[in-house]
Amino acid sequence: MKFADLHLHTQFSDGTFTPEELVLQAQKNGLSCIALTDHDTVEGCARAATACEAVKMDFITGAELTAEHEDIEVHILGYFLDINDAKFLARIAQFQTVRQNRIREMVAALNRLGIQLRAEAVFELANCRSPGRPHVARALVKEKLIGSLDEAFDRYLKKGRPAWVPKSKMSALEAVDLIHGAGGLAVIAHPGLNRTDDIIPQLVSAGMDGIECFHTKHSTVMSERYLEYADKYRLLVTGGSDCHGYSKARPLIGTVRLPYDHIEKLKAAHAKRK
């Protein structure tokens, strides 16, 4: 049996692995195919593709776009993206700028609380175009301004906490169109985590191609529920570990194993779209 993991992050967003380390981990875990889905960026895909080619592993380009619909945050995975598509790159660059400005706002809020963190320290640590709250948390720990990543979120960075800053997001409908414009398939990420059930029909009408039924934080009951959605709305089925490397305890890669017939169906759907 061959298996895939279609939800993975690297250092190009908030994961800790380089693309090469990620591919090595995928190999160790006996995976035959991976997709890289960094937040709002495809920067790591070229290196991941090269590393996969060297070990004869299937690679699917991807990204996880942070979007919203009716005030609900929804993450949309794009697969088989043309990573050189100028329009796609220009639009996600704007959201990378939003992320960078948000880091400055979060650091300013921390400074107002008397915490001496510099935005540059966060950017140096993040060393990518798509920084996020985990980088602020890691910088706080690194500078010994807090004891742990969890404490950083609990005290300062969680929604409603004093250094939390809302993020302006693209609409989910735009995200779907943007992914299609770059030749990709759009998949709703971890629906079990974002209270998105009520808006799934609208996202399907907007052209959503698939649904992430299998995810680290989905219970068996949840996965079964979303398999029923997939059946009802004729959506492709995907799954992945959402591995962020060593940032959260053990790396999760290998814990969600998507059977290969789903990969064949995704490839067929992508070929049909072209």
- Which residues lie near Fe ion (CB under 5 A)? 64, 75, 189, 242
* Stretch 28-57 residues interacting with ligand AMP (CB under 6 A): 39
Closer to Zn ion by Cβ: residue 38 or 209:
38
Angle between helices 86-112 and 133-142 (to 10 degrees): 40
Structure tokens at 153: 């979120």
Contacts with ligand AMP, 156-195, as mask; x by CB under 6 A: --x--------x----------------------------
> Nearest to residue 192, comparing CAs of 245, 242, 156?
242
Q: Decide: is 14 part of the binding site for Zn ion (CB under 5 A).
A: yes
Tokens 């992914």 map to which residue?
A: 179
Structure tokens at 127: 């060393």
Closer to ligand AMP by Cβ: residue 161 or 232:
161
Instruction: Give the angle 72-78-83 at the CA atoms, nearest 5°.
Output: 135
**Nearest residue by C-beta to Zn ion?**
14
| In the complex, minimum distance from the CB of residue 171 to ligand AMP, in angstroms, rounded to a whole number | 17
Q: Decide: is 120 part of the binding site for ligand AMP (CB under 6 A).
A: no
Burial class (CB in 10 A: 0-12, 13-18, 19+), 181: middle
Q: What is the bridge-based pairing of β-strands 62-69 and 58-60?
A: unpaired
The CA–CA distances, whole Å, from 20 to 6, 102, 133, 214 equal: 16, 29, 24, 25
Residue pair 184/92 in contact (Cβ under 8 Å)? The answer is: no
Closer to ligand AMP by Cβ: residue 78 or 134:
134
Instruction: Please report which helix (H) or strand (E) contains residue 186, including its range.
Output: strand 185-188
CA distance 164 to 94: 21
* Stretch 199-218 residues interacting with ligand AMP (CB under 6 A): none
Closer to Fe ion by Cβ: residue 6 or 189:
189
Residue 169 contact, options ligand AMP, Zn ion, Fe ion, none, Cβ 5-8 Å cut-off depending on partner type: none
| In the complex, minimum distance from the CB of residue 66 to ligand AMP, in angstroms, rounded to a whole number | 6
Q: Decide: is 43 part of the binding site for Zn ion (CB under 5 A).
A: no
* Stretch 121-160 residues interacting with ligand AMP (CB under 6 A): 132-134, 149-150, 153, 158
Among 5, 7, 8, 14, binds ligand AMP (CB under 6 A): 14
**Nearest residue by C-beta to Fe ion?**
75
Kindly report the backbone phi and psi dihedral angles of residue 259, in degrees, each rounded to the nearest multiple of 5, phi listed first: -60, 150
Angle between helices 133-142 and 119-126 (to 10 degrees): 110
| In the complex, minimum distance from the CB of residue 112 to Zn ion, in angstroms, rounded to a whole number | 26
Binding site for Zn ion (CB under 5 A): 14
Residues that bind ligand AMP (CB under 6 A): 14, 39, 132-134, 149-150, 153, 158, 167
